[in-house]
Structure 1
Amino acid sequence: MANDFYEIHLVEPADPDKNVLVRSLTSHGVEGVYFNATGEPGYDCSVPKASLSGYRFDATHYFRGYSFQTTSPGQFLLSSLPALPRFIIWRDRLEQKRFNRRPLVREDRIDMLRFFLAKTIKNGSFRTTPIGLLEMLYSRRGFLHPERELVTNYYRLMLDSFVATGELLVENHSYRLSPHGVARLAEFELENKRFKESSRQQTLIGWLTIAIVAIGAVQAYVTYLTVP
């Protein structure tokens, strides 16, 4: 993509939906299109220099498929330097190449249930899709990874399996945690705790057995030395 253009808005701090799309600068101030709300038609307007301080500056530079947003005139002037966006794009592509060399580590079922529970605790209405999971687990770089389709299909199958067993519910192609999923995770954590406790006890018994054998061997050796 070879796009290269700017979009500058003057935003009313009290109501961000009210803003001026800047078209040109004049000796008296700014000319543009005023929007009273999102989705409403715009109206031609002028903003005098004396009133500019009452707006919040918001500019976006669209360049070669990337977008660079700035929130102050100083940042805008700095980002307008020709070499800066090219350097940022070069660095981003280099980091993407490094990211693509590493395989995408897949979460197992229990870790995925833990993930849904943690997100749902923070946001009771949390729900997501396989594509959404790809971004949340691997960042936006996951969309450009060679394994993206394979991993997306893996999570789609996993989420569908959770629906089949009742741990997740699906609504409008989005998945959310069900009460059964919380109960299932609690059961697993309890079983895992019991397993660890049992393993700890078995380890302790093993060490006690070794100690008893060692003590018996020492006693036998001492007896052997003391018998005439």
Structure 2
Amino acid sequence: MRRAIDIALRKNAPMMIPTSGDAGRRNDCYVVYLEDQEGHGRFLANELTEHGLQGKWSVDGKNFVEECSVPYTAFPEFKPLIQHYYGGWTFNSRSISSFILKHLLSYPLWRVAWDRLLQAFFNRRQLTRHDRLRVLKYVLAETVKNRNYIAHETELLTQFYTVRWVFRPDKEELMTYYRLLLDALQESGDLKQAQFGLVLDPKAINTIAQYEQEERRHGQNAATQNGIRFLTVILTLVGIAQAVAAIHESWWKK
């Protein structure tokens, strides 16, 4: 444990750790905790000394305020929790073997690099913007599962495109589009304003039913038109065949 803590404290985290934006992407620091056997954080390490760890103690497992030290002989009474803040990510190690393995394999480095590569490909994709009926059907489905469901553009974006939309350069445009779409559904009476946001209005069920009925009618009409075209082609071919047969027969009679 001593060796692992020594490695981590070489990049000891500052008091305030940025976790977002450019500052978060530049992170590369560690926070070392010692937990009791019940998994409650008791000690926040700041410095490795000749006789043990210097840091702060916590009575409630949340606030580390009391200056104290933990001798090396007391290490077996605790379990380590080492948090590595790297590239906007947080990698937790609850065992020395897990920490050493991640450190030797440079796991945070290639894991963040792989994610950024995936994000770059995602950012290059042209996202399909869903129409109002697709959104209305989604809101209906979610309301059936949860009567207190609140429709919001950020939740729609996450469901349709995963959380990667947050890191796209056109995220503001996406948010504006779905905000306008929700406003349009409210204007048409399919959504209504509630205390904490927009919720489904029962009228939406009729809207969806009418649209689906029109879709079925359109499909039936299209099938009929296709059938007529197919029959026309068949009759034309039959007519051509009969004409060819008649010409052939008259030619042989000569």
What TM-score do you get using the length of structure 1 for normalisation?
Answer: 0.72
Residue 130 (structure 1) shift: 1.5
Task: Letter of the 2:177 partner, please give it.
Answer: Y
* Alignment match, 1:98: 121
Task: Tell me if the contact between 2:37 and 2:77 (Cα under 8 Å) persists in the aligned partners.
Answer: no
SS at match of 1:67: strand
* Alignment match, 2:90: 67
Measure the CA separation in 1 of the matches of 2:169 and 2:189.
32
1:115-168 CA distances to partner (integer Å, 9 max, x unpaired)? 223333443333232122222222222112111111111111000000111112
SS at match of 2:44: strand
* Alignment match, 1:215: 238
Task: Tell me if the contact between 2:42 and 2:58 (Cα under 8 Å) persists in the aligned partners.
Answer: yes
* Alignment match, 2:210: 187
Measure the CA separation in 1 of the matches of 2:119 and 2:240.
63
Correspondence 1:76-225 to 2 at 5 A: 76-81=99-104, 83-172=106-195, 174-225=197-248
Task: Tell me if the contact between 1:19 and 1:34 (Cα under 8 Å) persists in the aligned partners.
Answer: no
Corresponding residue to 1:23 among 29, 44, 57: 44
Say what the alpha-carbon RMSD is for the aligned residues: 3.7
Task: Tell me if the contact between 1:163 and 1:169 (Cα under 8 Å) persists in the aligned partners.
Answer: yes
Measure the CA separation in 2 of the matches of 1:103 and 1:207.
37
Task: Letter of the 1:198 partner, please give it.
Answer: N
Residue 180 (structure 1) shift: 1.5
Larger Rg: 2
Q: Which moved more, 1:117-126 or 1:131-140?
A: 117-126
1:189-219 CA distances to partner (integer Å, 9 max, x unpaired)? 1110111111101111221222223333433
Task: Letter of the 1:23 partner, please give it.
Answer: L
Q: Which runs of 5+ in 2 are unaligned?
A: 1-22
Task: Letter of the 2:165 partner, please give it.
Answer: G
* Alignment match, 1:33: 58
1:12-69 CA distances to partner (integer Å, 9 max, x unpaired)? 98xxxx8434435999xxx953548xxx97898x9x888879xxx8764323432224
Task: Tell me if the contact between 1:130 and 1:152 (Cα under 8 Å) persists in the aligned partners.
Answer: yes
What TM-score do you get using the length of structure 2 for normalisation?
Answer: 0.66
Q: Which moved more, 1:168-177 or 1:158-167?
A: 168-177
* Alignment match, 2:3: none
Measure the CA separation in 2 of the matches of 1:179 and 1:9.
54
Task: Tell me if the contact between 2:139 and 2:151 (Cα under 8 Å) persists in the aligned partners.
Answer: no
* Alignment match, 1:6: 31
Measure the CA separation in 1 of the matches of 2:241 and 2:105.
82
Measure the CA separation in 2 of the matches of 1:99 and 1:85.
21
Measure the CA separation in 2 of the matches of 1:11 and 1:219.
95
Task: Tell me if the contact between 2:43 and 2:64 (Cα under 8 Å) persists in the aligned partners.
Answer: no
Measure the CA separation in 2 of the matches of 1:165 and 1:9.
57
Measure the CA separation in 1 of the matches of 2:37 and 2:206.
48
Measure the CA separation in 2 of the matches of 1:7 and 1:168.
49
* Alignment match, 2:17: none
SS at match of 1:146: coil
